[in-house]
Amino acid sequence: MRFVLDNSVTMRWLLHDGSPARLAYASQVLDVLTHETGQALVPGIWPLEVANVVVKAQTKGLVSEARATAFIGLLQEMGIDVDAHTTDRALGDTLQLARRFKLSSYDAAYLELALREGLPLATLDADLRSAMVQTGGVLVGAEA
The per-residue pLDDT for 79 is 86
Of 37 and 120, the structure prediction assigns the larger pLDDT to: 120
Mean pLDDT of 38-59: 96
Give the Cα separation of 31 and 72 in Å (integer): 18
Domain 2-134: give its CATH architecture.
Answer: 3-Layer(aba) Sandwich (3.40)
Angle, to 10 degrees, between the axis of helix 46-59 and the axis of helix 65-77? 160
The per-residue pLDDT for 31 is 92
The per-residue pLDDT for 86 is 96
Give the Cα separation of 121 and 112 in Å (integer): 10
At residue 124, does pLDDT exceed 60? yes
- Confidence tier at 141 by pLDDT (50, 70, 90): confident
- Confidence tier at 27 by pLDDT (50, 70, 90): very high
At residue 87, does pLDDT exceed 50? yes
Q: 14-48: b or e for each residue (b if 16 or more CB lie within 10 Å)? A: bbeebeeeebebbebbbebbeeeebbbbbbbbbbe
At residue 28, does pLDDT exceed 90? yes
Q: Is the whole model's pTM more than 0.75, yes or no?
A: yes
The domain limits of the chain are 2-134
pLDDT in tens, 1-16: 999 999 999 999 999 9
56 by Cβ neighbours in 10 Å (0-12 / 13-18 / 19+) ranks as exposed
Q: Enumerate the β-bridge partners of residue 40.
A: 3, 80
